[in-house]
Amino acid sequence: MNSLLLCAPALVLTLAAQELPAQLQATLRLPADEVRGLQAELAAADVPAARRTYFEALTAYALVSQLRGQQAAAMEALLDRTLKALEASADPESMVLAGACLGLKLGFQPQLGMTLAPKASGLFAKALELAPGNPRALLFQGINVLHTPAFFGGGAGKAIPILEAAAKAAGTEAAPKDPWAPAWGKAETQAWLALALAQGGRLAEAREHCAKALALDPQYGFARLVVLPKLAQ
């Protein structure tokens, strides 16, 4: 009995370490307080160095996305640190996050659009060259195009085919053997595709894809709080 009690804390820590990668895969669907909790767990966990950098960047992206309007100075500083950590990476998944973070940087420094937007687009293109059909690269490429003004070649009409490809790629992506490998995107691509379809006036299809996103994660805040109200309008 005593030996079992002594082993119990180690067993709990082992189970927690096994659960953390799966929890991190849901980062972009979590509220800010839960993301901060994951940041703390990640800081204390034994993680391969490259994966630590990736998931630190993913949690930072999630926080900046949610809190940039409330804590602008702190979030821009966090974003700058994240971009610095990602800038030298040749890993396509990290390139995707770097491009996504550049998109957020535009919200703080819109006057840099002529520099940052092409750089972000280039990172998505390079990531897809290195990892063709990567669902996260297609997702952020689609988001980038969705937010690009139509007179610069963006908008819903151009974004929808990219996001459709992202949703298809995410739905067929095989589960990786490495639990720390990025493997998220199924619900996220469905929600962003729904938003693009709604903006393009294709409301019936938008409702269908929003329902798919919520079927995958009923608590997904972006789908519930952003996309659904658009459909109600």
pLDDT digit string (tens) for 22-75? 999 999 999 999 999 999 999 999 999 889 999 999 999 999 999 999 999 999
Q: Are 130 and 176 in contact (CB under 8 A)?
A: no
For the chain, counts of helices (H) and of strands (E): 12, 0
**Chain segment 153-192, per-residue pLDDT in tens:** 999 999 999 999 999 999 999 999 999 999 999 999 999 9
What does the chain come to in residues?
233
Last residue of a domain, one of 68, 83, 117: 117
Residues 161 and 202 in one domain: yes
> How far are the Cα atoms of 80, 91, 144, 183, 200 from residue 87, in angstroms, in the given order?
10, 10, 19, 22, 34
Residues 73 and 161 in one domain: no
CATH number at residue 160: 1.25.40
Q: Are 126 and 95 in contact (CB under 8 A)?
A: yes
How many domains does the chain contain in total? 2
Residues 10 and 100 in one domain: yes
Say what the alpha-carbon torsion angle 164, 162, 79, 35 is, to the nearest 10 degrees: 10
Residues 113 and 10 in one domain: yes
Last residue of a domain, one of 89, 117, 145: 117
Residues 144 and 172 in one domain: yes
Q: Quick one: what percent of the chain has pLDDT higher than 90?
A: 86
**Chain segment 74-104, per-residue pLDDT in tens:** 999 999 999 999 998 999 999 999 999 999 9
Q: Are 102 and 140 in contact (CB under 8 A)?
A: no
Q: Average pLDDT of the chain?
A: 91
| Whole-angstrom distance, CA of residue 23 vs CA of residue 223 | 19
> How far are the Cα atoms of 3, 4, 52 from residue 10, in angstroms, in the given order?
12, 10, 22
| Whole-angstrom distance, CA of residue 146 vs CA of residue 163 | 9
Residues 103 and 144 in one domain: no
Domain that holds residue 72: 1-117
